Amino acid sequence: MTLSLKRTAKIGVQAMSSSYISRKIMAGVNAPGEGTLYRRVAIDARNPDYEANLLEQELIGLFRQSNREKFWQGYKVIDGEEYYVMARPVRFTGECMYCHGRAEDAPAELLERYGYRGFGKETDTIAGVDFVGTSVPKSVGRVQQTIFTYFAFFALGALLFFFTTNVLFRLLVVNNLKRLNTVFRRNVEDDEGSALVSQLEQGDEIDELVDGIEQMSEHLFEARG
């Protein structure tokens, strides 16, 4: 549980503790409302705040029973909420014995801060677990929110695309067809032709415009025949 450092009173106890360092690094994971958990806990922990709870004791017992087990993952209910949990065992090594072996060999600062908790450990025994969990409902909620956000952007983009396409179509196609009607008007002299031109100018649908142009073409052909 501790880093390999020389026995010197000048080095702070916290700097010697891998547990303390890892908790500081992972402190942001436990932000309220985020739905994530990180705990590095042990049975008979030196700091009572990091004493293993029933679930964590169960995982420690699992690792102790199956000494080869190096990792566990699965679903657990924590405080009435389902979490996806990953855990790995934490073992005592020779480096840990300076602070977790015999109390008389430990730094005086350690005894002053925590008393005689957490001593009497042996090397190569499982001390506790690194425990990481993420809330299933909150994770699903974040996924749904992400999907909804992407869908909203996609829908907005699609609307803009179709609107732009419609405007360009009217500018490039419909207006050109109506300008063609103007050309027809200049070449029409009888009442029937004028009626066809008026019908063309009132049409909005492409089919109506095309049909009107065909009728006008036939009329001009007959008029010039």
Q: Report the CATH number at residue 131.
A: 3.30.450
For all residues of the chain together, what is the average pLDDT?
76
pLDDT over 50 (residue 149):
yes
- Asked, for residue 111, whether it belongs to a domain, the answer is yes
- Asked, for residue 121, whether it belongs to a domain, the answer is yes
Judgement on whether residues 90 and 39 belong to the same structural domain of the protein? yes
pLDDT over 50 (residue 4):
no
DSSP element (H, E) containing 72 = strand 72-78
pLDDT over 90 (residue 170):
no
CA distance 105 to 99: 8
- Asked, for residue 169, whether it belongs to a domain, the answer is yes
Number of C-beta neighbours around residue 76 at 10 A: 15
- Asked, for residue 1, whether it belongs to a domain, the answer is no
CA dihedral 59, 118, 90, 12 (to 10 degrees): 140
pLDDT at residue 100, as a whole number: 80
pLDDT at residue 8, as a whole number: 46
CA distance 145 to 151: 10
Judgement on whether residues 69 and 176 belong to the same structural domain of the protein? no
pLDDT over 60 (residue 225):
no
Judgement on whether residues 150 and 126 belong to the same structural domain of the protein? no
Give residue-wise pLDDT tens across range 175-219.
Answer: 776 676 666 666 655 555 556 656 655 555 555 556 666 666 666
pLDDT bucket at 22, cuts 50 / 70 / 90:
confident
Largest Cα–Cα distance in the chain?
123
pLDDT over 60 (residue 7):
no
Residue 196, class by beta-carbon neighbours within 10 Å (0-12 exposed, 13-18 middle, 19+ buried)? buried
Q: Which of 103-107, 123-127, 141-145, 173-177 has the lowest mean pLDDT?
A: 173-177
CA dihedral 170, 175, 181, 185 (to 10 degrees): 140
Closest residue by Cα to residue 5 from 16, 19, 17? 16
Give residue-wise pLDDT tens across range 60-75.
Answer: 999 988 877 888 999 9
- Asked, for residue 167, whether it belongs to a domain, the answer is yes
Judgement on whether residues 55 and 132 belong to the same structural domain of the protein? yes
pLDDT at residue 74, as a whole number: 92
Among 136, 151, 186, give the residue marking a domain's end.
Answer: 136
Judgement on whether residues 101 and 205 belong to the same structural domain of the protein? no
- Asked, for residue 176, whether it belongs to a domain, the answer is yes
Look up the domain containing 22 and give its range: 13-136
pLDDT at residue 140, as a whole number: 81
pLDDT at residue 110, as a whole number: 76
Residue 110, class by beta-carbon neighbours within 10 Å (0-12 exposed, 13-18 middle, 19+ buried)? buried
CA distance 143 to 31: 19
pLDDT at residue 6, as a whole number: 41
Judgement on whether residues 161 and 103 belong to the same structural domain of the protein? no
With a threshold of 0.85, does the pTM exceed it?
A: no
pLDDT at residue 5, as a whole number: 41
